Amino acid sequence: MANGEGPLSGLKVVDLSRLAPGPFASMLLADLGADVVLVEAPQGAIQGMGSDEMDEAAEKRRAYNSLARNKRSIIVDLRQEEGRQIVHDLAKDADIFLEGFRPGVTDRLGVGYEAISKTNPKIVYASLSGYGQTGPYNHMVGHDINYISVGGALGQIGRAGQKPAIPANIVADFAGGGLMTAFSILAALQGVHTTGKGQHVDMGMADGVLYLLASQTGGVLAGGESPGRGDGMLTGARPFYDAYECADGKYLSLGSLEPQFYAALCETLDREDLKPHQHTPEKQAEIGEFLETTLKTKTRDEWFAIMKPIDICVAPVLSLEESLQDEQMLARNMVVEVEDEKLGTIKHVGIGPKFSGTPGKVHSTAPRRGQHTDEVLASIGRDASAVASLREAGTVGG
């Protein structure tokens, strides 16, 4: 059954995306109530999964795969005319169409924006790619590391005098890509309400990265220097905004930017003589050395227990496992339970936005490939005999 809860309840999404950014965008929509139908290829993998074989290990990967949760799966061969017609029939009453192929692929398959918009002029059609549909890079292959390079982020991540530090692939793939796409889709839907017309949303992940750096672009465009690695107050140039190793080898993060927070840090560590020197250039090395030495005298959690009640801006640097067990994350329902038909009750990451009236919900784990083929085809007028014929021809599967 389609999702029926959340602020996006009633919206229908046709999702042709494959790799992480697109599935994350549609996961965000599905978590908030949209009915997302994954259009899977006859040969290949479900969103974020490895293969078609569903042994015990594969079933576990499927069940714990957050990116495909709350969705329905149908297998369609877009190389066949009848397969393309199925996608057009799905698009007829859909609100959103999402694809993540290289520019031009969906046009060649007959399911590009021009073709789908003729079927449904009100549809919001989102194309998510590395560099967007236009420009000299638009057909280049790439991954997160490449998009954050072109988008201006990687060059400023890391320590001074060292090569760039490669972050987890959340900046381009998930923030500049998936999150920005979901945001843009909802903005375009508002446009449908005001104009009565759908439109094509062209989202390049490199564009999204540069957009995320909006607060820094003004200074550079005004003639200032580009931020470098480790030379900014927020990138390691000041000891009061940094991460420090503790006695147990774990790290504590300090963000004592404001004078009152820095003063509280000095008072807590019995170095009130350093309070007037938060920004004194010749004192930065001394402050840094003091913090490094002092914070190694207790464990991370001991320091956090001491500083937590004080306005210092402090937090433990947690592993992902620790974060999923952290009292704050648990109190905010960032780990939830969901029933899986194969594995029973399992846990998933919770939903970030909290809505007071129409909260989102994790109501189902990721589907098996083609699990909902018959159900979805029935919703667009294909009877059992027609579905059997389509399956025999290899047009659909599951």
Do residues 56 and 343 lie in contact, with contact meaning Cβ atoms separated by under 8 Å? no
Q: Is the pLDDT of residue 51 over 60?
A: no
Q: Please give the mean pLDDT across all residues of the chain.
A: 95
Residue 166 and residue 145: Cα distance in Å, rounded? 7
Do residues 68 and 27 lie in contact, with contact meaning Cβ atoms separated by under 8 Å? yes
pLDDT tens digit sequence for 83-101:
999 999 999 999 999 999 9
Any bridge partners for residue 38, and if so which? 15, 73
Domain total for the chain?
A: 2
Residue range of the domain that includes 279: 241-245+251-316
| Residues 65 and 200 occupy one common structural domain | yes
Residue 212 and residue 226: Cα distance in Å, rounded? 15
pLDDT tens digit sequence for 239-252:
999 999 999 999 99
Single out the residue in 268, 293, 316 at which a domain terminates.
316
Residue 256 and residue 233: Cα distance in Å, rounded? 11
The catalytic site residues sit at 143, 173
- How far are the Cα atoms of 11, 134, 249, 274 from residue 252, in angstroms, in the given order? 43, 44, 10, 20
**Which residues of 256-364 form beta strands (DSSP E)?**
314-316, 335-340, 344-349
Is 235 part of a structural domain of the chain? no
Q: Is the pLDDT of residue 287 over 60?
A: yes
| Residues 192 and 111 occupy one common structural domain | yes
The CATH number of whichever domain residue 261 belongs to comes to 3.30.1540.10
Helix (H), strand (E) at residue 312:
none
pTM: 0.95
Pairing outcome for strands 35-40 and 71-76: parallel
**What percent of the chain shows pLDDT beyond 70?**
96
**381-53-378 Cα angle (round to 5):** 5
